[in-house]
């Protein structure tokens, strides 16, 4: 089912009736979803903020994870995003990232990710990554974890004009795969991820082992809750595409209850 075209966005496949079909694509967040980088990133944020003269707790740093770099450091340093100290902090963070985070390699993978991605590919699901990281940083992380070959396009913050929770990022990823958004899922660990998925008309799939709490994630209408990556694979493999009429544009869906997966859900 893989398409050989690598450069530019692929032609979108013709919309067909959703009856009896499963999802054709899954787009993934990276930190807190595929990669257990949250402890290392939190520690690095605290360190860089301290170098800029700001005392930041690990809890405060955790709330900034998943946001674009300027927004994250602007929040932590209490300064405008275009402030010189914010920009200096971003440069320092990127400089230290390889030494503080990438050095951990495959140990950063959450349990079941490699096998799960392989299973989805075998099921005929196209895979991509959409993340607030820069594309270069995301590619490097995927490489050191050994899963770069399992996913197709990688869309980073530097590839879009508007970051999360605006849907531009995931819509670009789906376009690169050649799959309509309504036949796709987005998997992430934050409320912003789920709101982005809903606005893009994608199936919102939340993991509860990342930075978002169960209650926060479940409050987003229609979110499917997963306590493990094995649950993620089960949800995507079984989910049905939305009606073709949903492809018309990013309109928020009517509210329905969150759908938990698995007998036990970890409440945070």
Given the residues 29, 189, 193, 231, select the one marked as catalytic. Answer: 29
- Name 259's bridge partners: 224
Whether the CB-CB separation of 187 and 205 falls below 8 Å is answered with: yes
Given the residues 31, 189, 193, 231, select the one marked as catalytic. Answer: 31
The DSSP bridge pattern shows strands 203-207 and 184-188 to be: parallel
Whether the CB-CB separation of 45 and 145 falls below 8 Å is answered with: no
Closest CA to 206 of 265, 156, 252: 265
Whether the CB-CB separation of 199 and 233 falls below 8 Å is answered with: no
> How far is residue 193's CA from residue 195's CA, in Å, rounded to a whole number?
6
> How far is residue 206's CA from residue 226's CA, in Å, rounded to a whole number?
6
> How far is residue 10's CA from residue 146's CA, in Å, rounded to a whole number?
25
Q: Is 193 in the active site?
A: no
Question: Quick one: 4 exposed, middle or buried, by C-beta within 10 A (0-12, 13-18, 19+)?
Answer: exposed
Tell me how many degrees the CA angle 204-209-212 measures, rounded to the nearest 5: 60
> How far is residue 257's CA from residue 94's CA, in Å, rounded to a whole number?
40
Q: Is 29 in the active site?
A: yes
Q: What is the DSSP string of 133-170?
A: S-HHHHHHHHHHHT-GGG---EE-GGG-SS-TTSTHHH
Instruction: List residues with catalytic annotation.
Output: 29, 31
């Amino acid at each position: 089912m893989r398409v050989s075209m690598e450069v530019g966005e692929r032609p979108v496949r013709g919309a067909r009736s959703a009856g009896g079909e499963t999802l054709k694509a899954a787009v993934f967040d990276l930190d807190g979803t595929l990669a257990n980088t949250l402890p290392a990133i939190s520690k690095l944020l605290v360190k860089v903020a301290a170098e800029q003269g700001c005392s930041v707790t690990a809890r405060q740093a955790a709330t900034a994870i998943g946001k674009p770099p300027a927004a994250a450091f602007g929040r932590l340093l209490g300064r405008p995003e275009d402030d010189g100290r914010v920009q200096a902090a971003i440069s320092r963070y990127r400089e230290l990232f390889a030494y503080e985070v990438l050095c951990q390699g495959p140990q950063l993978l959450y349990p079941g990710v490699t096998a799960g991605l392989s299973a989805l590919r075998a099921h005929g699901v196209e895979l991509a990554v959409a993340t607030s990281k820069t594309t270069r940083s995301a590619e490097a992380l995927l490489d050191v974890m050994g899963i770069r070959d399992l996913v197709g396009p990688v869309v980073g913050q530097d590839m879009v004009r508007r970051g999360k929770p605006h849907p531009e990022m995931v819509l670009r990823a789906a376009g690169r795969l050649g799959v309509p958004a309504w036949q796709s899922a987005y998997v992430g660990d934050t409320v912003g991820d789920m709101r982005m998925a809903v606005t893009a008309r994608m199936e919102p799939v939340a993991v509860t082992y990342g930075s978002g709490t169960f209650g926060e994630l479940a409050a987003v209408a229609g979110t499917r809750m997963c306590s493990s990556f094995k649950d993620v694979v089960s949800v995507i493999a079984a989910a049905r595409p939305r009606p073709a009429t949903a492809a018309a544009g990013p309109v928020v869906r009517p509210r329905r209850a969150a759908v938990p997966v698995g007998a036990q859900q970890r409440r945070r």
